[in-house]
Every structure is written in C-alpha cells, then in structure tokens.
Structure 1
Amino acid sequence: MGETINVLSHSVDEKAASIKRLLKMIFGASTEKTATVTKKRKPKGNSQPKEKKKGHGRNGAADYTGAEKTTVAHAQLKHKDRCPACLKGKVYVCKQPRTLIRVTGTSPLTASVVELEKLRCNLCGEIFTANAPQDVGEEKYDASAGAMIALLKYGNGFPFYRLQNLQDSIGIPLPASTQWDIVRDFYWHAYPAFDELIKQAAGAKVVHNDDTTMKILSMVNETQDAKRKGIFTSGMIAVVDGHKIGLFFTGRNHAGENLADLLSKSEADLGPPIQMCDALSRNVPKDFKTLLANCMSHGRRRFVDVYDNFPDECTHVLNVLGKVYKNDADAKAQNLSDEQRIELHQNRSGPLMKELRKWFDEQFEEKKVEPNSGLRQAIKYMCKHWDALTLFLRVPGAPLDNNVCERALKKAILNRKNALFYKTERGARVGDLYMSLIHTCELCSANPFDYLVALRENSSEVKYQPDQWMPWNYKQAASEIKS
C-alpha cells in the first residue's frame, strides 16, 4: 500500500512539473532568476535604498543616431560679437547647443511622382521632354526600398501581405508579389557577403549551435518518401577575431549536420573549435571533432521546473549556479582575456562546482533522493553531462551557456509565428541569407539597414572583395569609394 502511495505521489509531482513546463511553452516565462523562482524577498528594515539611475528615462538626442540633423545659426549674433546685454563682453559658441527633437510619422516605404513636361510640335509632331532631376533614375525601387522590405520581413517578422495592407492604407501600393521580386533580386547582390561570412565562421574558435522546427510547403508532399520528415532552421553563432557571426540554415539537416558542413570549409591545420550546444546528440557533428560544451542554462532549468516539489534542494543548486554566473559576469565586466577568465573561474567557480558535484553524489549514495522523481532526473542530467557542463573550467574561452544562440533563433521563430511557413526551398534560402546578415549586424552593433543599402549600391565591389564588406568594416570601404 505504501509503495502504491509513493508511486501515485511521484506521478502527481511529475504531472505538476509537466503542466508547469507546458504553461511556460504556451504563455512564456517572464524570468527564471533565482530570486523570482524561490520567491525570495529582501528584508525591508536592513535593506539599503536602491540607487537611482541617472537621467529621466527618456531618450536623449544622442540616441537618435538615424535622425537627420540640422544646425541652425543665430539670426543676429555670431562668434565673438559684442554682447547685446552688457555691451562689454563678447559672445562665444557653447559646446552643447540646445536640441529640439521632432518625430514624424511616415510609411515604411515612401514614393515620389515626378512629372516631366512634354512639348509637341504641331507641325512635325516632334516631342520634347524635360530632363529628369539628377537623383531620379529609371529604376522604380532603389536600394533603400529593398533593404527596408528585407529588414521588416526577415529582421522583424513582418509578413509581405501585412506590409501590403499597410502600404495600401497609406496610398502607396506595394503588392506582396512585388516585395518578393525585390528581395529575390536583392539576394544576388548580397550573396557574396553571406558566402564570406560562412567562410570566416568556418575558422571560428567558438561556435554555438541549435535548431528549431520550420515548415516549407513545397517539401511537405515529399515527407512520405523522405527518410527524415522534419524540417528545421539551424542557428549558429561563430566567434571570430572578436566578432560574432550569426548564420541560419533551413532544410532537413539537423544542427550537427549543418555544423559539419560549416567545418568542412575550414583550414586543415586549425584545431577543433569549442562547440556550445544543449545535450541533444543531433547537435554534434559526426565527422568532425569539437571540444564539446553543454549549456548550463538547460541543466539549471530542470531544477527550476521541479522547484515547487523540492524547494530546499533546488534552492541550494540555484544559489550555487548563481554564484558561478556572478563570477562570469565579473569577468566580462573587467574585460578579462580568455586566460584571465579561466583563472578566475578556476579559483572561484572551481570549488563551488566541486562541492556541488559532491552534493549530487551524496543524494544518490545516501539515498536522499527518491527514484524516478523529478529531482533525481535533474541531478542525473547534470552528472551525466558534467564534463561538458564544466568545460569552462578547463578550456580558455569556453562559454557557460548557449543563450546567445537561443536568442538568435527567436528571429526564425518570429518569422515562423507571423508568416507560418516558407513556400519553397528558394524562399528559405533567401530568408536564411537576410536573417544571417541582419543578425550579424545586430551582434556587431552595426546598422542593418545601412549595411544592406551599402551592399546593393556597391555590389560590384562586394563581388570581388567581400571580406572588405563585412558588417564590422563596410563603412571604411564605403568611405574610400566616396573619397
């Protein structure tokens, strides 16, 4: 009877944890911070007043980097004129002018209609047409139009039909089919830069990878004959010479197979890269050796899921991992090198992880954790992948988690959520290119709109020197052409 009660109790606990995970999947989790999970509150009496951040919470003029700036000179006075107030001193230009910000509304794509006057001879019938302005050519959609459509669609998940409805309501029609024609033609101007990103990512020291499900309509009918029925978008973040490169690949291949294709383009004398991913076997390339690191966040989340059933044990684990993350944050704040960072972790995080592993072993050896319970499964997961989870203590540059790749995949997930699918494999390749270029710009703090415009306007130079037109150095190449 007692065993039956235990089995039922465990089943109820597992169902509760499963329902909690399901609710997170449906509605999302606002945060998984330890203080929130454990419902910890700071004492009111002894707590220090929180220091207020400087500023008033508004965006200053310096934040409007894309705004058009205009300088207005004083109407009556100029530099070193006599002061009209005291009639003795001289006025000088202040370093900080008074700034006024004016935000106006406009459609994502605007249009202008230029009417060229035509004159016709009443005798011979010859027609004379006025010359078009220098900035107006025969091309209907310029580089900025293609860049804006690509940025809205693949950077912000704005479907073609939704942009079509918006433009129609403003009186500047832009059919969805026309939008596709524009980004498809734009694809070939940007492809050399995308191909160069892949080549440079192949030689990365650290590579993050993961994948998410996707749908391509033209491949749906092929699932009956295909060996693999699933369709995925793989996301990769490669760290090369201090730059982060974001790549996306959509098709039937898993993340590990796409990573193998990427590493096949690397030089033979390069050592194995550090690979950060979750513990799924499909994320690991079969034909290439990597220094495997598993995501600490995935292991931590298992304790978050079962916290309600085992609050004391989970609080202990979350507090220890919180200290490890604090050490990593200190290393980033101090801008430590990879060697200095691993030394910091070995001195501070090493003892913490050693004690945590000892605590895990005690739970099994002293039978403190019940068989088949959610806590046992969480501990078992950590112990099974312990070497990969603690690679940051042995290899310089090994990251703690795969969060940067998880964030990157949100771009593909947003597109899937709003547009539901790609129609063809060609459409998926176009989407992969634009998402890769746009997200790499975001990782490098570059303006993706300006970058796409630069690729289109300088397509001939990009074709022959793509390494000079990367998101982190394209401005220099563009300025040399203008000069």
Structure 2
Amino acid sequence: MISATEAQLDELLALARAASFPQPQYDLLAGVLGTFIHVMHALQNAKTSLKRFRHMLFGKRTESTANVLKMIGTGTGGAIEPAPNDSAALPGGVGKESKKRKGHGRNGARAYSGARHVDIDLPDLKSGAPCPQCFVGKVYDSPPRIVVKVVGQAPLAATVYRQARVRCRLCDFTDTAPMPAGVSSSKYDHSCASVLALLRYGGGMPHHRLDKLQASMHVPVPDATQWDLVEKAAATGPRLAFEEMIKQAAQGDLLHNDDTPARILALMGERRAKAEAAGKAMPSTKAINTTGIVSLVGEAKVKVVLFLTGPAHAGANLARVLAHRCAQLRAPQQMCDALAANTKGDFETILSLCLAHSRRQFVEVAENFPAPCRHVIDVLAKVYQIDAYTKVEKMPDWQRLLHHRIHSRPLMLDLKKWMEKQIKERQVEPNSGLGQAMRYMLKHWWGLTQFYRKAGAALDNNVVERALKKAIVHRRNSLFYRSQRGAEVGDIFMSLIYTCESCKANPFEYLQALQKHAADVADKPHLWLPWNYGEALARH
C-alpha cells in the first residue's frame, strides 16, 4: 500500500511535464491519477455514508471522547497512544478524576413519593410502656422501619360497584345505596385521560396497542374511547396551560430550536390529493416536522419545552412563539444548528450555532483521518471541561463568559489557525470528509464561538435534541397522527409532560390538577404552570 496526498500527485504530474513526456502518455498518466483521486474520495465518502446509514438503522454509541478515540485506535490497524493528561492545566483541575454518576444504585424509599403511604401501629405496645423483654426499662418511639412493596395492575383499572336497591311493589318507590365518597360521577375518571396521555405522548404507546393490552386483562378500553378521553381533556385546562407556556417561553433569554420529521396522514399522499381535488386549502409545503423549542426563562432558568407539529419549519415556529415576546425586552439568544430553516422567519435573535454538530462531522470521518480529527476532538474536549467547571462552580453568566474568554478563547483561536494552515498548505484535501468538516467549522466560526463573546450563550443544542427524542419515541411507536387536530393534542400533552420532567414535577398529578381546576386555570393560567402550580393547588 502506498499513501499519497493530492499535492504529491500534482507534483508528480509537474515532474512528468518537465521531463517532456509525450502528450498522449502525459494525458494517460493524468487520467490515471485523476481516477485514483476520484475513487479514493468516493471510497471515503462511501464509508462515511455507510456508517451514517448503519447508525440510522441500529443506533450509535455515544460520541464521547473516550469512545471516539477507541474507535480510531481499532479502525486504523494500530492503537493510538492516549493524549497526555492536560487536566492540570485546566481551571480547577477539571477532569482529574472521573466520578461515578449518580442514579446507578437502588431506589430508596424517598424515591417513591408517588406511592400510597400506610402507617402501621404496634398492636400492643405504646410509647412509655414497660419493656416486655427485660421488664425494667421502658420503650419509647423510634424511627419506623421502612418497607416498600410494589404490585402490578393494568394501566387502567376498573371497579364494579353493586349498589343495593329496594322497591315498593305497591307504589313502585325505589331507593338505591349511595356511592362511596370521592367516586367520580362519570364512568371515566380524570385520571384515565392523564394516564392515557402519559402512555401515548410520554411513552409512545399507541391507543390500539393499549386496547389489546386492556382487553387481555379483561378491563376493556377501546382505542376510540381512549382518543375521545384525551381529546376532551386537552380542550380544558391543558390547552390553556400550553398557550400560557408559549407566552412564557417567548420571554426567555435563550431559546433552543430544532426539527425532526413527523407524519400527519391528512397532509400526505392520497388524502392530500383528495382534499386538493375537493378544493380544500392545503399547506404549500409538503414537509411535515415536529419542532422542539426549549426556552430558559427567568433568573432561575426554568426550562419551558414546547413541541409544535405541522407543515411549518423550526424558524417559522420560533417566529410564532416570539410573536408573544414583550416589546420592551431585548432580542433573545438563539441556539440551533446551521440549517437555514432554523433561522428563517420574521424575528430578531442573537444567533449561536451548535458546536456538537461541528464536532460530529469530525467524529464521522475520524477512522479515515485519525490524527487531525483527534486533535480537533481533544481541543473541544478541553473546552467542554472548562464549561463543566463553570457549572460545578455555579458561575453566573457574566463570570462564565469571563472564564471562557480567559481559558477557552486561546484554545479555539489556536484551533482556527491550525485548520487554516492545514487548508492553505494543502495538507488536507478540500473535498475530502476532513476538508469539508474544517470548512464547515471555519465558515460558521462566529456562531460556533459565541460562548466566549455573549454572556449566557450555550455551547451546543443538545438540550433540544434530548427533548426531541420524546417526539421520536412517539413517531417510532405510534407512527403518525391522523389529522392536524391529533397533532395539536399530541403537542399539548407532550409539551406539558416534558416540561414537568425538566422541572422535577409529577406529570400525572399536574395533568390531574389542570382538569380538576380548569376554571381556575382559565382565570389565572400563569399560576398553573408545571413549576409553580403547587402553590395554587395548596390554596384549594
């Protein structure tokens, strides 16, 4: 195997020209070398494309630096020596020790805050009674022993009440035993809609699948009934809270946005063609997306998560949200990737671009270009370590900005000079995967490095990509919405559920509260949001 760069092959052609090669032989040599370059580029691109396709089908491992370096070591025929530990040069020694993440042990009793708690008293002994063993001392209250018991049941449980009745055979008077206190007057309690919304829009379980599960447990709840329940519930308190969340999100200092494909059958294929033939107005665009928007609101930086599904792209949906922004507020910061659809809309923002997207381009070609890709990944790893330190120290935005200017800015400027030198000196083929990754980073350099220019600017768009996984789980399991109305119901519940999760609220209890107190939500919706509804609920 012989390795050669495109510059070396050009030099070979120049020498052949200087040696006065006959023109036919020179043209043949130029053609052979050109074909070789074309084939090598195609092979590299094919490897990258196949890798992406494999990831689409089977998923991919985390893109952590450790995994990427391991992939490089196994993919090049020889392991690469680990980089020297530069953690001592980083502020606070970030990265010196890898601490085990929380959440890998058993769940303690405190984790079961949603469980029913039962106090069991001693049948014979009371505090202050004589000790039954030594007969001398006395026993006093001690911390109780905690035992957790978990039982299984159908997602929707039913109770059949048999009410005793009496009837007078002479005058036909009847009397029926009253229902127990607290039993809902309707067949389906508010909790049914809450559970159905959590299963469908929080976990992706289709109504038809739950229909079969319930039937197998002899507690039938048809899929049509399930839809009626969630549609009816969405039209009350949940819709009002969702609309208020849009207004609150518009006031945020930093908004993340991104798209993922979605399916609405009424806007696709034969249904769309029939509607157009019938003269019904249809959206001009055929692309259907679910837009995720995560807004950090207030000094507490509460995460408000919105999902908007339809024929509009992320930029148009962000414009829809920012239309509710107070005119006296300055332009917010926006974090997204460099796709034009994310910024296309009638709004003004301070744009930052996702550093993780740029890094991913180097990760995808790391097996073909291990050494230069490793250099880029190592530099970005240091930047992320510096940012992690600011979070550990809970720095305010202005202090975090100063910290990045001192520690991250020199690293990034050195990286920029290095990439420009690589391209200028033709050490990297401009059309190769590595060259394209470098050109992407240099082209969008200003947006990718806003984190050391603007206070509060994010490094990446990972927060909204994590949020969009909920929409992806729904798409992979429930596959589609039938109509735009169905998509709106899904957006309402998905937004409420994920916002609850982001602020550590119980989504089931929250959906219950919105339905039971719909009139109060309509009167003062700003008091019934996932992060503050507990105070309003305590007053009732």
Q: Same fold (TM over 0.5)?
A: yes
- CA deviation map 1:166-214 (0-9, x unaligned): 1111111100000111011101211111111011111110000011111
Decide which of 130, 153, 160 is 2:207's aligned counterpart: 160
Aligned residues: CA RMSD: 2.1
Amino acid at match of 1:237: V
Q: Does 1:125 align with 2:172?
A: yes
CA distance in 2, matches of 1:310, 1:159: 44
Residue 269 of structure 1 corresponds to which residue in structure 2?
328
In structure 2, do the counterparts of structure 1 residues 436 and 49 end up closer, same or farther at CA, with 3 Å as the change threshold?
A: closer
Residue 92 of structure 1 corresponds to which residue in structure 2?
140
Residue 178 of structure 1 corresponds to which residue in structure 2?
225
CA distance in 2, matches of 1:350, 1:78: 68
How far off its partner does 1:87 sit? Answer: 3.8
Amino acid at match of 1:222: R
CA distance in 2, matches of 1:335, 1:92: 44
CA distance in 2, matches of 1:465, 1:106: 37
Q: Percent identity?
A: 47
Residue 76 of structure 1 corresponds to which residue in structure 2?
124
Mapping of residues 26-175 of structure 1, within 5 Å:
26-39=57-70, 57-95=105-143, 97-175=144-222
CA distance in 2, matches of 1:247, 1:175: 29
In structure 2, do the counterparts of structure 1 residues 427 and 388 end up closer, same or farther at CA, with 3 Å as the change threshold?
A: same
Q: Does 1:398 align with 2:457?
A: yes
CA distance in 1, matches of 2:173, 2:115: 46
CA distance in 2, matches of 1:284, 1:52: 39
Kept after mapping to 1: 8 A contact 2:206/2:477: yes
Kept after mapping to 1: 8 A contact 2:283/2:311: no
Residue 470 of structure 2 corresponds to which residue in structure 1?
411
Q: Does 1:234 align with 2:291?
A: yes
Q: Secondary structure at the match of 1:222?
A: helix
In structure 2, do the counterparts of structure 1 residues 466 and 49 end up closer, same or farther at CA, with 3 Å as the change threshold?
A: closer
Amino acid at match of 1:412: A
Decide which of 337, 342, 350 is 2:396's aligned counterpart: 337
Structure 2: 5+ residue stretches without partners:
1-31, 74-78, 86-95, 277-281
Max Rg structure = 2
Q: Secondary structure at the match of 1:422?
A: coil
How far off its partner does 1:50 sit? Answer: 8.1
In structure 2, do the counterparts of structure 1 residues 54 and 324 end up closer, same or farther at CA, with 3 Å as the change threshold?
A: closer
CA distance in 2, matches of 1:267, 1:115: 57
Residue 475 of structure 1 corresponds to which residue in structure 2?
534
Amino acid at match of 1:447: N
Kept after mapping to 2: 8 A contact 1:259/1:285: no
Residue 309 of structure 1 corresponds to which residue in structure 2?
368
- CA deviation map 1:393-446 (0-9, x unaligned): 111111111111011111111111111111111111101100010011011111
Amino acid at match of 2:105: G
Amino acid at match of 1:135: G
How far off its partner does 1:16 sit? Answer: 0.5
CA distance in 1, matches of 2:433, 2:537: 57
CA distance in 1, matches of 2:423, 2:102: 51
Q: Answer with 252-261 or 279-288: which moved more.
A: 279-288
Residue 313 of structure 2 corresponds to which residue in structure 1?
254
Kept after mapping to 1: 8 A contact 2:262/2:288: yes
TM-score, structure 2 length as denominator?
0.85
- CA deviation map 1:323-345 (0-9, x unaligned): 11111111111111111111111
Q: Secondary structure at the match of 1:200?
A: helix
CA distance in 1, matches of 2:344, 2:224: 38
In structure 2, do the counterparts of structure 1 residues 259 and 4 end up closer, same or farther at CA, with 3 Å as the change threshold?
A: same
Residue 452 of structure 1 corresponds to which residue in structure 2?
511
In structure 2, do the counterparts of structure 1 residues 50 and 258 end up closer, same or farther at CA, with 3 Å as the change threshold?
A: closer
Q: Secondary structure at the match of 1:364?
A: helix
Residue 254 of structure 2 corresponds to which residue in structure 1?
206
Residue 443 of structure 2 corresponds to which residue in structure 1?
384
CA distance in 2, matches of 1:165, 1:55: 34
